[in-house]
Structure 1
Amino acid sequence: MLKYLERNIVFGMTRRGQRGPVPIYRQIMASIKADVAAGVLKPGQALPKEDDLAKQHDASRLTVRKALALLREERVIYTQHPKGSYVGPEGAPQIRDPWPFESVAAQVTELIRGGEYEPDTVLPSENEMMETYGVAKNTVRAAMALLREQGWVYTVPAMGTFVEKRDKWNKEDLSS
């Protein structure tokens, strides 16, 4: 029996020190389950990113991935690639912080709705948007792609991105 306990304690060790007889991935699982039970994590809520969980638990990403895989098997969480992992059940509406490009798109939408940008007027350049919102070029491009998809703007190559006519705006967004 003593050899069994010693072996498990060794398996529970990391480079930074001893953790005890419970493997780290099991500790991560228990922590997430406790947060779900306590209501800290609600159904549909996004879990922290793997890197953040690894730092929080002083573990490797591989260990975090093992914990998340087992939580998926137990149906405590579900994963939607590339969006991330969410608290189950899988049908629950997703609750997460907006991505930076979604925040930029939402702010531009509000400016359009508020009349700051009229239909057929050109929006600021990528560089101006980068400076205004403090984001990278790819974030601005993703925001513009989302706005095009939602019907708020259109792009004319070599001329810029313009505000769409009101009848093309996303009707669902107008009712909110």
Structure 2
Amino acid sequence: MHGRSALSVWERSSTARVVPAARPRKLAKVPFVELADGRLQGVVSSGSDIGRVYVSSVAAGSYTFACGTNNNRPCGGANGYFCNHLRALVGEAVLQYGVERVARYLKVEAGTAEPDATALLAAMTATRPAQGDRSASAQVFSRFLRHLSYLELPADTRPLPEMQWFPTTRAAA
């Protein structure tokens, strides 16, 4: 067991710092994006149906990709190629996390002095990645719905016991 003085401030508190977004982004097209479980994954809104979303992911290193609707139907545009949902996901991830962090996480060598989302996509698709299974889609969509449920809570200043683990952007005292 560490002594109290050996623990950092964040280890002694119930909050952790959140890395702010690299640049502001609009949430209408890609409301949920994360670098987790060895993948870039998220939820992308349909361009044609307001009630439909796609759960999309790209695996780090292999760039194996998956895209399908929230009710587990395959994406018609992801037939061996990155569809527009995957391209939007990569673009929004770059806005959220910054191109360097996304490239490092996905293990992409962009090959340009100043890479951007387009360079990352070009490098990944040049390897001719395979289309993978959508087995993680349910977990990703479930996390997205959980995040949405917090938006529906009434405004209150009292702490929520289940949110004590939730990261905050303010530094712990």
Q: Please classify the TM superposition score into its range, dividing by the shorter chain length.
A: under 0.3
Larger RCO (CA under 8 A, 6+ residues apart): 2
Highest Rg: 1 or 2?
A: 1
TM-score by length of 1: 0.27
Q: Specify which structure has the higher proportion of helix.
A: 1
